[in-house]
Amino acid sequence: MARPYVTLRRDTWAALSNHTEIRLDEDTLARLRGIGDPTSQADVAEVYRPLTQLLHLTMVNAGRLNDQRNDFLRLNVARTPFVIAVAGSVAVGKSTVSRLLQELLRRAPGSPKVDLITTDGFLYPNAELQRRGILHRKGFPQSYDRRALLQFVMDVKSGSPRVEAPVYSHSKYDIVPDEKIVVEQPDILIVEGLNVLQPARVEKNGLSGLAISDFFDFSVFVDAKEAHIKQWFTSRFLELRRRAAGKDEGFFVQYQDMSEEEAAGFASEVWDTINGPNLRQNVAPTKQRATAILRKNSDHLISEISIRKV
Ligand SMILES: Nc1ncnc2c1ncn2[C@@H]1O[C@H](COP(=O)(O)OP(=O)(O)O)[C@@H](O)[C@H]1O
Ligand SMILES: CC(C)(COP(=O)(O)O)[C@@H](O)C(=O)NCCC(=O)O
């Protein structure tokens, strides 16, 4: 049976890259890594350099096609941003992948302006989630203001000069009122989030039939076995709790009185009741929609890469 993907082992993938020097110094890499994420210089060279090259060639050719199409249509419009999505479970390491791609793409020929936004800014505030009875469903598709997110991506992709996105704080566990991220005509926009590859819903009114994924030029799904991701989630929870020790503000203060075992048990329960079901029901089923799938083994090491060929 024909498959739309070509799947390559890491060493075969690494050999595709020419030896253009895209390097990150150790301090920069340390700044980009998420909590508990061991991404190394070897990963940059073997996994992210070929991915950056593939992204860059896709971008250059998409830009050319757009220019020619606009000429044909006699449209006098500027080039609009190339949009890259990064999808995958909670705690799989999307943020590290997104921040690395941002940094590496900034170093690509022409030094493009690369902005990054996370979809958590479009979560409904806790008070609204509570009103809807879905506070225990944070991260599920229905916990986002999907219409506002779609409008945001359409506005950026259409070349609007200035577009604002709301901001979520993990430490407050809520939307930060009055804080905004401003996106001003980047060459590349990276959109990171659990549900970015969800297909369109059929709505009764308004923007029916469209999803943010209709505006992506390239998408990456970060994949791993659920048992490993749960382990990373639990370790991160314990680490964040440790870091909150002695502080009197922030979401993790409430877990200070628990023993390590109780805290691990609590994280495991959050996984089993919220993030695990969300992964299985909503996130994992969108994997095959991605242009690239990065498969991680138990150590976060990317061992296999699949790329859509048709
Ligand atoms: N409770 C938290 N407190 C502070 N930072 C957090 C918390 N949960 C997640 N993060 C950070 O937020 C980012 C997004 O986390 P998450 O949505 O789980 O995606 P991923 O781990 O795939 O990047 C990561 O950089 C992570 O380290
Ligand atoms: C904020 C998130 C929903 C992820 O948001 P994303 O940027 O992927 O849209 C997730 O990281 C999270 O914190 N889930 C919380 C589940 C819970 O503890 O209720």
Longest dimension (CA), the chain: 67
Tokens standing for residue 27 = 């301090």
Is 47 annotated to bind ligand? Answer: no
ipTM of the complex: 0.94
Q: What is the pTM of this model?
A: 0.96
Average pLDDT, rounded, for the chain: 94
Evaluate if residue 64 carries a pLDDT over 70. Answer: yes
Question: Is the model more confident about 243 or about 134?
Answer: 134
- Is 175 touching ligand 2 by the criterion CB < 6 Å? no
Q: Measured between alpha carbons, how far is 103 from 24 in angstroms, rounded to an integer?
A: 8
What the chain holds in terms of domains, given with CATH numbers, is 5-308 (3.40.50.300)
Is 95 annotated to bind ligand? Answer: yes
Residues touching ligand 1 (Cβ under 6 Å) are: 34-35, 88, 90-95, 170-171, 240, 251
Could you read off the pLDDT of 189-221 as tens digits, one per residue? 999 999 999 999 876 665 568 999 999 999 999
**CA dist 31 to 34, 84, 100, 108, 129, Å?**
8, 21, 10, 20, 32
Q: How many CB atoms lie within 10 A of CB 242?
A: 12
Q: What is the pLDDT of residue 152?
A: 98
**AA letter at 274:** I
